Structure 1
């Protein structure tokens, strides 16, 4: 059946028959869809007061880059550093970790191109690899691998540059070069070059990448000194320390003890199993991305236990859904589309994943939770990395129902997870295809 003149006439008749439609049309033409639909009681439900809170530093700003996962991880780690240094706030260099992420991702991509050299160029796998090889985004285990290998440094040791805060031009050029390198590697393989020769060719490509990153992001420190004053105004100087030593002594995390839990309530991913995603990673020789799929209540219980213990929680979510950005509120009832449009979007969480309507897009940090008298969560305190202009000076509030619907991942210490779910890590890990929605990367800015 096609759209006919009679059908269009019926559509117009139906629209004109409801005077509310014209009032909504006028409002939306002036202020837009969301502002016309915002629930007037939204701010009343979010007082930005929470019963349990962790220590946190000053609000950070990822600028025009997709480094949210780095900011969230480093903002989680810095709480331990602040305690050890006895300082009110602290910030790690996100430029330092960006440098190594770009270099390691380049190597991971080129290694994957070599591994798939016998695949047809138009295969879904090769085209997936070529789609976006050097994007800013990532997941918890990808960053864990960077910390394990390269450590971390204070922000003053490797400060921001134009291209660390504005990554688009760098990503465009680097993507073009990596695709060029991929073509050359595949051509060399077709010409009968050996694995050793392909590896040597790859190393020359990586040398170019290293030079480009040094020119745009700056030289990475191998040894550095750091001066600071503590909360008692006492001066301190750390000298001749490596990034790995700084992370070991002033964060002191056992990265193997930090477990990633996901909530993917789809039929193809039974709860109680561990999953990984093929061809997804940063450090090629590092630990593979691994997460345990569990009911959303398990993620909440682990996050609450961590917060009660003073430990902030890294998490990944679909931040663009039902977000009132200016107010800094994530609430499943933020917009009353039923009132303005006549109906809302009626998809379950599983359906949103299956039909491409939702996936993990952004990483932030839980730094508090508001519990009722029975210990049930009402709302969550969120530290974002979009600066201090929105929300409560950069702090956001998330309703518990929003957590249910749009939160997908938390990373917490093993001790906060019930043993029932940890058993999954002793079983064979299920491999997901590279294009699975749980392979999406946090990169919203």
Structure 2
């Protein structure tokens, strides 16, 4: 890059009046306000033909628990109905506690398994880069519920650290990396010595989590008043008993479908990612790769049938927070920068321009002539934005930026249901399809 070349770039920029116009605009105004296509924004109708939600949106606050909130929001619909109340929340803090503890154990087991590799091995480096985080996947949510049950929010309410996890995660990451150093140093001493050290590390992890989040209840007295002011008492319950009584959906029947258009991910095959998960003894995180048309159809059919749908997406793309909308053409960045953005979804995955970053719940769909036109979404960012926390997604955005949904296995065509029993293609630990929703 020579001075002459830089001078040529400057002359080229100055020669175009449109460049100066955009410079004047963007230096004084946020670029999204300049690029916003008002025709698209004003053309978005928020009504939908099938609308399920009649409850308040939740708020994950300063934490990355969206996948957990979305899962619990799916389950609370049936629980509220059984309890006879208009609104109900399971304790998100309870599942967060167990996720932190289980994930620490999962990380330390991975460290033991890879202890004979060099520190700069790509898998080891990936593990050490993020030993503990808030993000997760559908299968990780299901694993926590299956092993540790659920409790109402009153039995384990939020704490300062459950709503703002950064300080807790910072302490846990330091402890786990320190533990990784110790476990790797014992690589020649055998598994028994390493697991003795692991137990010592987990004792400290348990203490730290309990200091930040409180202690998860082993039993609690469950009683409530329904919306008709009638009092009920169910007695002393364990988290497993509470989940068995008030979870109205068969979680073990749900499977995770993804849309991964890369050539390396065949349609109709199951995929998994090395070292992805939180509970060591749980079934692995497995996706079934399907075409986008099927992803949309199954989501639509579930909603029309009366059931919300958990999904994961790249949330920040083409999003207008103050209006609570997503549309694939919401911002005309090409006009602002006078250049074309030409990568498709597969290329964006391959070149690290996209991944699943957030999970939410579909609670409505607008259907015309048998096809979805737009979607109503329950987010977990509080009630301040959109329609008291419920957003609108145009179908164009679904195709470009939604990656996965959780649906019942029985909803799949027979050939795809059978494909779930095949051994999955194992992708490396750093593959973008294993990104965690925050």
| Short-chain TM bin | over 0.9
Question: For 2:329, what is the secondary structure of its paired residue?
Answer: coil
Residue 96 of structure 1 corresponds to 94
User: Could you list the per-position Cα deviations for residues 171-200 of structure 1 after superposition, in whole angstroms to 9, with x for gaps in the alignment?
Assistant: 11100100111111111223x2x3222212
Map 1:418-433; keep pairs closer than 5 Å: 418-433=413-428
User: Could you list the per-position Cα deviations for residues 193-231 of structure 1 after superposition, in whole angstroms to 9, with x for gaps in the alignment?
Assistant: x32222122111111111111111001011112332222
**Contact 2:276–2:429 (CA under 8 A) maintained in structure 1:** yes
User: Could you list the per-position Cα deviations for residues 238-292 of structure 1 after superposition, in whole angstroms to 9, with x for gaps in the alignment?
Assistant: 2201111111111133222101000000010000001111111111000100110
Residue 385 of structure 2 corresponds to 390
Question: For 1:58, what is the secondary structure of its paired residue?
Answer: coil
- Counterparts of 2:340 and 2:222, CA distance in 1: 54
Q: Which runs of 5+ in 1 are unaligned?
A: none
Residue of structure 2 aligned with 1:73, choices 71, 74, 78: 71
Residue 216 of structure 1 corresponds to 212
Map 1:366-445; keep pairs closer than 5 Å: 366-372=362-368, 374-443=369-438
TM, length-normalised to structure 2: 0.97
Question: For 1:366, what is the secondary structure of its paired residue?
Answer: strand
Residue 247 of structure 2 corresponds to 251
Bigger Cα displacement from structure 2, 49-58 vs 98-107: 49-58
Residue 112 of structure 2 corresponds to 114
User: Could you list the per-position Cα deviations for residues 104-160 of structure 1 after superposition, in whole angstroms to 9, with x for gaps in the alignment?
Assistant: 000001111111121122211111111101110000001110000011111111111
**Contact 1:56–1:367 (CA under 8 A) maintained in structure 2:** no
TM, length-normalised to structure 1: 0.96
Q: In the comparison of the two structures, how many residue pairs are matched?
A: 438
**Contact 1:76–1:365 (CA under 8 A) maintained in structure 2:** yes
Residue 150 of structure 1 corresponds to 148
Question: For 2:420, what is the secondary structure of its paired residue?
Answer: helix
**Contact 2:159–2:213 (CA under 8 A) maintained in structure 1:** yes
- Counterparts of 2:412 and 2:403, CA distance in 1: 16
Residue 233 of structure 1 corresponds to 229
Runs of 4+ in 1 over 4 A off after TM superposition: none
**Contact 1:65–1:136 (CA under 8 A) maintained in structure 2:** yes
**Contact 2:41–2:330 (CA under 8 A) maintained in structure 1:** no
1:128 aligns with 2:123: no
Bigger Cα displacement from structure 2, 95-104 vs 424-433: 424-433
- Counterparts of 1:11 and 1:123, CA distance in 2: 41
Question: For 2:27, what is the secondary structure of its paired residue?
Answer: helix
**Contact 1:260–1:290 (CA under 8 A) maintained in structure 2:** yes
**Shift of the alpha carbon at 1:56?**
4.6
Question: For 1:30, what is the secondary structure of its paired residue?
Answer: coil
**Shift of the alpha carbon at 1:15?**
2.2
Question: For 1:266, what is the secondary structure of its paired residue?
Answer: coil
Residue 86 of structure 1 corresponds to 84
**Contact 1:69–1:442 (CA under 8 A) maintained in structure 2:** yes
Map 1:2-401; keep pairs closer than 5 Å: 2=1, 4-190=2-188, 192=189, 194-372=190-368, 374-401=369-396
- Counterparts of 1:197 and 1:9, CA distance in 2: 65
**Contact 1:117–1:189 (CA under 8 A) maintained in structure 2:** yes
- Counterparts of 1:56 and 1:153, CA distance in 2: 22
